[in-house]
Amino acid sequence: MQPHAHKMQTQEPWEGFCSVEHGQLWYRVHPGPANRPPVIVLHGGPGCPSTYLHSLSALADFTTVVFYDQLGCGRSTSDVPMSALTLDSFTADLQVLLDTLRIKSFVLLGHSFGGLLALHHQRCFPHTASALLLASPLVATSDWMADMAVLTGALPEPYADDLNKPQEDPAYVAAEAQFYRTYFCHLQPWPPELQVAVEQLAASPAYHLMWGPTEFTQTGNLEGADCSGVLRTLRCPVLFTCGSADEARPETLRRYADMCERGQLKVFEGGTHCVHLEQPDEFLQVIREFFGHDSAIQWITSV
């Protein structure tokens, strides 16, 4: 057994690096009770490092929680070739991390882009996850962009029209800020862990190469990405979460949840894309309830 496999049995958080094809993945493990599958947290962006999700380490009171930074951001290798910044490459990296940590039974918790990564992993490695927690997920680029058209159009005037102006125009800058205040995070100012992550996102090649310049402008290699078909193949419990004023619209997530054999949806009233920071206690409680729900007992107790 590898040395880091022994560490999975310790009680103190620990971190390390995992070698993948195009660099080193940084990861951090928060050990918890061993009678439940660990939760592997997949951050968004692409290119938004995991720091803004580290409050989810509180879940270690009932299971192990693993964070990592995808290539191109955070503490993982930042200078990587373009071929490393694809959905397929990120999926392969995730599987290498699981193999390195000798994790066979696991739950994937994907936020935003992390939801697409979780689903694509299950497309490539079917039925390996014990459950999926998809928080404000990107599932299909076409659906996301359709929702962006609805959300930008719903902004009060003059913001909706101003988003059509050149990005260097002060009116556009103000409208973009209004969009993020409305749908990304209500908190003012943003929590430090979110502010730092978003600043690093802006400097990461992953976001611009894979997605584009803004949440509502898609120009990258995720064009055409669609994992909605994976939903009908899932046999494990699947929990979707979002805020009522989320970039990932509740109406769209309801349709996704209905496509799953064991899908559920929780909408946090008044929340946005970062509802885990806006309503942290409520968010954690919903996840704990999902772990304890009757429909999930089989996979919780049989690992």
* 296: pLDDT strictly greater than 80: no
pLDDT for 35: 87
* 295: pLDDT strictly greater than 50: no
Instruction: Tell me how far CA of residue 175 lies from CA of 14, 186, 200, 211, in angstroms.
Output: 42, 15, 22, 20
What's the pTM value of the predicted model, to 2 decimals?
0.93
93 among known catalytic residues: no
Cα–Cα dist 233/86, whole Å: 23
Residue 279 or residue 2, greater confidence: 279
What mean pLDDT is reported for the chain?
93
pLDDT for 227: 99
281 among known catalytic residues: no
Cα–Cα dist 84/93, whole Å: 9
pLDDT for 3: 38
* 10: pLDDT strictly greater than 80: no
Catalytic residue among 50, 143, 246, 276: 246
> Strand, coil or helix: what is 42?
strand
Sequence-distant (≥ 6) Cβ neighbours of residue 292 within 8 angstroms = 300
Region 108-112: mean pLDDT is: 99
pLDDT for 291: 86
273 among known catalytic residues: yes
Please report the domains of the chain, with CATH numbers, ordered by start residue: 3-297 (3.40.50.1820)
* 152: pLDDT strictly greater than 50: yes
Give residue-wise pLDDT tens across range 44-70: 999 999 999 999 999 999 999 999 999
Catalytic residue among 30, 43, 273, 276: 273
Contact 300, 107 (CB under 8 A): no
Give the largest CA-CA distance in the chain.
Answer: 61
* 39: pLDDT strictly greater than 90: yes
Residue 34 or residue 10, greater confidence: 34
Cα–Cα dist 148/247, whole Å: 7
Catalytic residue among 57, 89, 112, 130: 112
Give me 182's structure tokens. Answer: 């409305």
Region 104-124: mean pLDDT is: 98
